[in-house]
Structure 1
Amino acid sequence: MKTAEKDNKPSFYKDAVFEMNGEERGLDILVKPFRQHNLDNEVTFVVTFIEKEPKIQDAVEVEKVTLTSRTKIYIQELEEELKKTKEELQTSLEEIETSNEELQAANEELLASNEELQSTNEELQSVNEEINTVNAENVQKMDDLAALNADMNNLLESIDIGTIFLDSSLRIRKFTPAIKKHFSLINSDIGRPIDNFTTNFGTNRGRKGLVDRCKKVIETGKKLERHIISKEGRHYLQRISPFINSQQDIEGIVITFVDVETLHKAQEKLIASEKRFKTFYEKDPVMHFTVDPNTSIIKEVNEKAVEKLEYSSKDELIGRPIFELYEDEAQLKAVRLNKIFLENGELNNVEQEMLTKTGKKVPVILNSTVELDEEDQVVNNRYTCVDISELKEAQERLKKKKVALERANKDLEQFVSICSHDLQEPLSTIKFGSDILGKIYGKKLDEKAREYITYIDKASDRLSNQIKALLDHSRIGQNSERSLVNTKEMVEVVKYDLGKRVKDTNAKIHVGNLPKIMAYEVELRLLFQNLISNALKYKSDERDPEIRISAYPEDKYWVFSIMDNGIGITEEDQKNIFTIFNRARTKNKYEGTGVGLAHAEKIVILHEGSIWVDSQPGVGSTFYFKLKTEE
């Protein structure tokens, strides 16, 4: 391997003999070197062992290699490698020395260049110092002049007032940007006479007028002012003032144009507001009084006060104490109210009676506030009086109607109670008589007579149930108050009460999310019971009953729906379905008195709502009812 590495070519060793398991064997050995092309220049070897039969007869015994002889060979190889390495190091050293000499020469050149640059820099610095010395005074003077000029320009440019400077010949010397913006002047106009531009300044801009006014200011030394309007319709205050120098001589004119558009619009708005307020004050359908806070003397009134109190003009009311408009008893009340007013600074919705010129009483709702000045001092008391004569009359009429209605309801309740009691007694007699006839004389009567007795029994029972139902209907809503009701829990209770019928009909009842509302609990439970019971009663023979109950909010109401898949209701029967004792026409006979839906309607009306039905015969019905919620 050493030989292969040294010669950089394959090395071949033939007829090597070795012993393995007591048996001698022979082989040839081939070593191939491979150099890696990288920075380390590493060498790898491929060693190939070619096994063959040993040729002992041709073999020549050689002297055994001892440790000493091997060491000599190894030392010799190391010496050769060291010699080679020394030669390479000597070559590298020579190259480094050559590079060092080159770098030293370059460094000397750089030092020479640096010395030259340093010399040049010193010369430039000397020249610069001379220039700074020469220009120091000029720079100082220029700075002072620039600062002064900048201050003047900043002042003129920052001011939002259009200004034109004229000389004694009325030629333009300077103008501010505000003039350029509003009146379309350009820098090249400097030096031109002002009379060339008088047509640019507003609608009141006579050429002769402006020039004459400028000349007058130069002659008198007094400034002149007037309002003008620009071409764009903006309002300005034109002020012409004399330009006075340090010797107090007039050297020209200063014309300023102050934009007063905002002020003008504010004045217009104020005038319009005052006009609207006066119109509102005068035409307002309520009475207004402005009263002196110290003397209670009326200072101003509107036309409605004059009209309502039956006076012919404002002069009859202005100057009179406000208390003279009250009768004696009302005056005492007004004095007490005035103390409260002084403490709180206002009165709200106080009932009072005022006297007209003819002595007629006018009931009013009185409101009063104070009017303050800029220093929060009270300058006026303002009274607003709303005539409630019609409201009082309406209240009186409603009170009478309420008394009459309460009396009628009481009479009706008494009538229903008496009727139910008085009718039940003869019905009981009829029922008892028909039972006696059936039991004692039943065998003696023919089939037709017994059928008539059965008719009497059924009619008596039906009339008794109807009387009881009528009495229950009249008592709905009596002696009850609203409370918070969980309608979902209530429906579950109704389902439990109707459990036997639900099981017998194999019905399915689906209940959605239902709200908690303020309602009459007993009546609302009866409402759900009647509608769900009807859905179970009027089921279709072709399918099992299926009922869906849901609700959704609508403004201040909750709308409930109870949908079934029963026999449905014809459009003709829907018109009178909620009438008491009215029953829809059906193919089959169903038990009942015909008051269930009448009960439902009355309960819904009790909750300030409404009820209606949407139905299709053979498909099913959906009853909707809307209940008003209370906060």
Structure 2
Amino acid sequence: MSRLMDTRSNSIAPYAVAILMPLLALLGTLLFAPLLVRTTLLFFIIAVIFSGWYGGFWPGILGGIISGVLLDYFILGERHSFVLQAADIPVLVLFAFVVIIVSVIEESRLRTERALRQSRDQLQIVLQGITDGVIAQDKNGEILFANDAAARLAGLSSAQEMMTTPIQKIRANYENFDVDGTPLPFEKLPTKRAITEGIGGEIDFRWHLVKEGRTRWMNFKSSPVFDQRGQPQMSINIMTDITEDKESEVKLQNAHQRLQTMLASINNGVVATDTEGHIDLMNPMAETLTGWSVGQAIGKPFEDIVALKSLLPDETIVSPVQSILRDKQELNVSTPTELISKDGVRIPIGYNAAPIKDQFGDIVGAVMVFRDVSDRQKAENERNQLTLLLASQQKRLENVLANVPGIVWESIISSDNQEQRIEFVNRYAERILGYTREEWLATPNFGQKIIHPDDLESSQKEGQEIFARGDLSAAIQFRCIAKDGRIVPIEAHYSILTDDKGKVIGSCGLMMDISQRKSDENAIKQSALDLKRSNEQLEQFAYVASHDLQEPLRMITSYLQLLERRYKDKLDQDASEFISYAVDGATRMKALINDLLAYSRVKTGEQDFARFDTKTALNQAITNLQITIAETGAQVTVDSLPPILGNEAQFIQLFQNLLSNAIKFHGDEPPKIAVKAERSGSVWKFSVTDNGIGIEPQYVERIFIIFQRLHTKDVYPGTGIGLAICKKVVEHHGGRIWAESTPGTGTTFWFTIPAASWSK
């Protein structure tokens, strides 16, 4: 109805009502005249009041004038006449007064009502226009008012829907959680307390819309509204979506935490100040270097905490922070500087400083970053020392290489493998081939140009075959042509240079003049031929000599024995004895010649080696000595013996000489001989042990020398060649022989033979 009245206030409707109402009042007065004897003005007063209420001041006045005219003409005095009687004048005056009063009052009421209505509409426009949600709730929690923003936050389509939906149904659409994620009951919201206790409140919480599955951060404020008695009547709630603020806050906290972590983890000291030069940030390294804790340093002037001193004489350092705040530009310092800590410790540092600016480019402080350069200075000193040492060593190396009796070189191969260029060559190269270092360095493929044409292809092929097998180094021989035309035999030792990917990038090595070696090798070859020829002649001589010498010995022996038989009875005792001595000497001479022949026949090459069983050789030696063994009652025990690679005939002679030696030098007991063999690493270790008279320790080496005897021929006959033959046989097979003995107990002869020899 108020909207209808507001619309008609600017039209003719109020004046039409002002005309109509007096007519209705006249009709009512005429109809109810019998009942309105004393209140004939009642209906007209009601008409004036209604006209004023509906239209305001002027419609009320109009209704009053029309009512006065109708009263005068139809009711008061003489009816149907405008002539007034004296008694009616007071009534009309009173009526006019009432009309004026009523019109003024209603006009005032309408103006107030219009003002209130306009204020309400403006407030509603404002509430609908703001982004915050606004809700008015009564004591039961039901929503009396809500703007569209509140409806959107609650997941509803409009404010009207929110105001017409029961509060419990609305609450079922979302869940509340505290800052730490704990469920937040509706009773804990400040609305409850605002309505019940009249105390406003504010809270931040997470609002989870169940149906939409989204969560928003909300700031919720509640304020109570009191009635005339001071009792809380309703609660006005303002909901603000602070999700972006919270996310920004979290990002800011994360960024701050990252900054703190970074500042704590770096090895540089960091100190920041405000625009007054007072410290407001300090990282742990800065605490360590300055000796001040953060709590002690915050708020103090920079210069009181970071004390700097120049290491240059007569130079004073201006505070870097004050320079930054004054000049408003970065500061990079190269001056050697010391930091004097709280405890007076002096630390060499390097530092730089810069202004801190806000988003508008205004300076809001300064920051200085400094680092302990003690290790760097130490490393720099060490590097300088190493540089000097390297230069010294390089000089020494150059001197050494300059005097190495060979050509030391290094070359680099081009990327297309078509060109090889010498990068380094020592001075000695000029002494060998006559070419200067400059010629080596300036000429591409110089190495190929100095190799003799007849050797170039073969040397390259030989090197390629070596590297094709996977070897990165090689040694090959070829001839070079010196600058003066000489042909110089060269042996080159060189290695391939590769990069980190294994690609060949060059080579380096040493080339030596082997002219003297070649000459020596030729001399050695000639000496070897001469020695071989001499040995063959010596063997031939020994063989011929042994046969030629045995013939006259046989003749001498035969005629002496014939003389002894024919003239035995005619000769005296001395003559018989003399003849016996001559026969014995000739016999011993024959044995000596046979032993010398056997010794000379022991060759030193492996061309006569074959695989054989050493036990078979031992058995043959035992067979050869069977008569002697039977005569002396000797016992020979044999363990298992291995097969080897060697000369079986020489091994038979070796075993036969050792067994014969053990039988010959036996004691009072019959000879007992044990032959064994055992594996010892890469050799077979043989032993021949007897129970004979033994050998004095000082003679155990002497017995292997040819013609050396420890006893006279009258006590133990022999030529002194047997053990020398044993030594020569063992050494011929790549082993060694020795004896261990205890006088009166027996002797053990040991000898070794390579175990791998049989597999050659």
- The residue aligned with 1:70 is none
Of structures 1 and 2, the one with the larger relative CO (CA 8 A, separation 6+) is 1
TM superposition shift of 1:226: 5.0
Q: How does 1:89-238 map onto structure 2 within 5 Å?
A: 129-130=188-189, 134=203, 136=205, 141=246, 146-159=253-266, 161-168=268-275, 171-180=278-287, 186-187=293-294, 188-195=296-303, 208-209=316-317, 211=319, 215=323, 219=327, 221-222=329-330, 224=332, 238=351
The question of whether the paired residues in 2 share the 8 Å contact of 1:505 and 1:545 is answered with no
TM superposition shift of 1:422: 1.2
What is the letter of the counterpart of residue 619 of structure 1? T
- For 1:619 and 1:421, locate their aligned partners in 2 and report how far apart those are by CA, in whole Å: 41
SS at match of 1:463: helix
TM superposition shift of 1:451: 3.6
SS at match of 1:318: helix
**Equivalent in 463, 468, 477 of residue 603 of structure 2:** 477
Q: Deviations over 1:173-229 (max 9, x none)?
A: 434444555665533334445545666899789994474598369737346365979
Within the alignment, does 1:363 sit opposite 2:524 as a pair? no
Q: How does 1:66-85 map onto structure 2 within 5 Å?
A: none
- The residue aligned with 1:532 is 659
- For 2:276 and 2:617, locate their aligned partners in 1 and report how far apart those are by CA, in whole Å: 102
Q: 1:341 to 1:493 in 2, by over 3 A?
A: closer
SS at match of 2:438: helix
TM superposition shift of 1:562: 3.7
TM superposition shift of 1:419: 0.5
- The residue aligned with 1:326 is 451
- For 1:510 and 1:442, locate their aligned partners in 2 and report how far apart those are by CA, in whole Å: 47
What is the letter of the counterpart of residue 367 of structure 2? I
Q: Which moved more, 1:404-413 or 1:370-379?
A: 370-379
- For 2:592 and 2:539, locate their aligned partners in 1 and report how far apart those are by CA, in whole Å: 16
Q: How does 1:292-311 map onto structure 2 within 5 Å?
A: 292-293=412-413, 294-309=418-433
Q: 1:167 to 1:126 in 2, by over 3 A?
A: closer
**Equivalent in 286, 291, 296 of residue 411 of structure 2:** 291
- The residue aligned with 1:86 is none
- For 1:451 and 1:153, locate their aligned partners in 2 and report how far apart those are by CA, in whole Å: 124
Within the alignment, does 1:314 sit opposite 2:437 as a pair? yes
- The residue aligned with 2:369 is 255
Q: Deviations over 1:340-385 (max 9, x none)?
A: 7998896611102334455444433223444445676655443432
The question of whether the paired residues in 2 share the 8 Å contact of 1:235 and 1:264 is answered with no
Provide structure 1 residue ranges, at least 5 long, that are not aligned to the other structure. 1-123
- For 2:528 and 2:626, locate their aligned partners in 1 and report how far apart those are by CA, in whole Å: 44
SS at match of 2:441: coil
Within the alignment, does 1:597 sit opposite 2:723 as a pair? yes
Q: 1:496 to 1:298 in 2, by over 3 A?
A: same
- For 1:303 and 1:540, locate their aligned partners in 2 and report how far apart those are by CA, in whole Å: 76
Q: Deviations over 1:588-614 (max 9, x none)?
A: 633443321010121233234443334
- For 1:353 and 1:233, locate their aligned partners in 2 and report how far apart those are by CA, in whole Å: 68
Percent identity of paired positions between Structure 1 and Structure 2: 25
- For 1:433 and 1:324, locate their aligned partners in 2 and report how far apart those are by CA, in whole Å: 83
Q: 1:478 to 1:326 in 2, by over 3 A?
A: closer
SS at match of 2:704: coil
- For 2:276 and 2:694, locate their aligned partners in 1 and report how far apart those are by CA, in whole Å: 106
**Equivalent in 391, 413, 428 of residue 539 of structure 2:** 413
The question of whether the paired residues in 2 share the 8 Å contact of 1:559 and 1:625 is answered with yes
The question of whether the paired residues in 2 share the 8 Å contact of 1:288 and 1:383 is answered with yes
What is the letter of the counterpart of residue 257 of structure 1? R
- The residue aligned with 1:106 is none
TM superposition shift of 1:171: 4.9
Q: How does 1:58-69 map onto structure 2 within 5 Å?
A: none
The question of whether the paired residues in 2 share the 8 Å contact of 1:291 and 1:322 is answered with no
- For 2:713 and 2:465, locate their aligned partners in 1 and report how far apart those are by CA, in whole Å: 76
TM superposition shift of 1:297: 3.8
SS at match of 1:580: coil
What is the letter of the counterpart of residue 529 of structure 2? V
The question of whether the paired residues in 2 share the 8 Å contact of 1:281 and 1:288 is answered with no
TM superposition shift of 1:584: 2.1
Please identify the structure whose Cα radius of gyration is greater.
Answer: 2
TM superposition shift of 1:521: 4.1
SS at match of 1:577: helix
SS at match of 1:593: coil
- For 1:593 and 1:211, locate their aligned partners in 2 and report how far apart those are by CA, in whole Å: 109
Q: Which moved more, 1:598-607 or 1:222-231?
A: 222-231
SS at match of 2:716: coil
- For 2:467 and 2:527, locate their aligned partners in 1 and report how far apart those are by CA, in whole Å: 41
TM superposition shift of 1:429: 2.0
- For 1:210 and 1:565, locate their aligned partners in 2 and report how far apart those are by CA, in whole Å: 104
TM superposition shift of 1:319: 1.1
Q: Deviations over 1:90-145 (max 9, x none)?
A: xxxxxxxxxxxxxxxxxxxxxxxxxxxxxxxxxx9969845999353689958666
What is the letter of the counterpart of residue 369 of structure 2? I
Provide structure 2 residue ranges, at least 5 long, that are not aligned to the other structure. 1-182, 191-200, 206-217, 220-241, 340-344
Q: How does 1:331-410 map onto structure 2 within 5 Å?
A: 331=456, 333=458, 348-373=474-499, 379-410=505-536
- For 1:513 and 1:179, locate their aligned partners in 2 and report how far apart those are by CA, in whole Å: 85
SS at match of 1:623: strand
TM superposition shift of 1:149: 3.3
Name the Cα RMSD after superposition. Answer: 5.0
Q: 1:551 to 1:347 in 2, by over 3 A?
A: closer
- For 1:167 and 1:174, locate their aligned partners in 2 and report how far apart those are by CA, in whole Å: 9
Q: How does 1:389-468 map onto structure 2 within 5 Å?
A: 389-468=515-594
- The residue aligned with 1:35 is none
The question of whether the paired residues in 2 share the 8 Å contact of 1:199 and 1:206 is answered with no
SS at match of 2:369: strand
TM-score by length of 2: 0.54
The question of whether the paired residues in 2 share the 8 Å contact of 1:506 and 1:544 is answered with yes
SS at match of 1:477: coil
The question of whether the paired residues in 1 share the 8 Å contact of 2:338 and 2:346 is answered with yes
TM-score by length of 1: 0.64
What is the letter of the counterpart of residue 299 of structure 1? E
Q: 1:469 to 1:364 in 2, by over 3 A?
A: same
- For 1:408 and 1:356, locate their aligned partners in 2 and report how far apart those are by CA, in whole Å: 40
TM superposition shift of 1:471: 1.2
- For 2:526 and 2:645, locate their aligned partners in 1 and report how far apart those are by CA, in whole Å: 30
The question of whether the paired residues in 1 share the 8 Å contact of 2:268 and 2:369 is answered with no
Q: Which moved more, 1:577-586 or 1:557-566?
A: 557-566
Q: 1:546 to 1:357 in 2, by over 3 A?
A: same
Q: Deviations over 1:386-429 (max 9, x none)?
A: 34344334323322221221121111111101201211221222
Give the total of aligned pairs: 506
- The residue aligned with 1:581 is 707
Q: 1:280 to 1:525 in 2, by over 3 A?
A: farther
The question of whether the paired residues in 1 share the 8 Å contact of 2:320 and 2:353 is answered with no
TM superposition shift of 1:535: 1.7
- The residue aligned with 1:620 is 746
The question of whether the paired residues in 2 share the 8 Å contact of 1:217 and 1:223 is answered with no
The question of whether the paired residues in 1 share the 8 Å contact of 2:672 and 2:691 is answered with yes
SS at match of 2:366: strand
The question of whether the paired residues in 2 share the 8 Å contact of 1:214 and 1:240 is answered with no
Q: How does 1:535-546 map onto structure 2 within 5 Å?
A: 535-541=662-668, 545=672
Q: 1:488 to 1:424 in 2, by over 3 A?
A: closer
Q: 1:592 to 1:197 in 2, by over 3 A?
A: farther
- For 1:499 and 1:227, locate their aligned partners in 2 and report how far apart those are by CA, in whole Å: 105
Q: 1:483 to 1:183 in 2, by over 3 A?
A: farther
Q: Which moved more, 1:361-370 or 1:194-203?
A: 194-203
